[in-house]
Amino acid sequence: MIKEINFSKQAVEKINQLVSNKPSGTYFRIAVKGGGCSGFKYDFSFDKNITNEDMKYNNIVIDKSSFNMLKGSQVDFANELIGSSFKISNPQTKSSCGCGISFSI
């Protein structure tokens, strides 16, 4: 169960919509990966391979390492004039780059 991460209603609705268009047994995976100009970046993907190390909430999965870096975060989905995207407000983030994609902890 992913209790330490708060998903907005809009994020859950969008994730459910996206997963409903995928084959049965597909999950929406959120991960933190090394990269970007500040050291880390968020990665959103679809995955059918779930392990015992994954934290699961409905049709959302997060690996334990990423989960620890996301504790206390708010996950939202925003429709804006410049495009639609998932937004993560992470209280553990110390800085982020100008593009808003990568961050440091």
**Which structural domains are found in the chain, ordered by start?**
6-98 (2.60.300.12)
Answer yes or no: is pLDDT of 102 > 90: no
Q: How confident is the model at residue 36 (pLDDT cuts 50, 70, 90)?
A: low
Average pLDDT across the chain, whole number = 86
Q: What is the pLDDT of residue 11?
A: 95
pLDDT (average), residues 52-72: 92
pLDDT (average), residues 29-45: 84
| Torsion of Cα atoms, 33 then 87 then 83 then 21, to 10° | 80
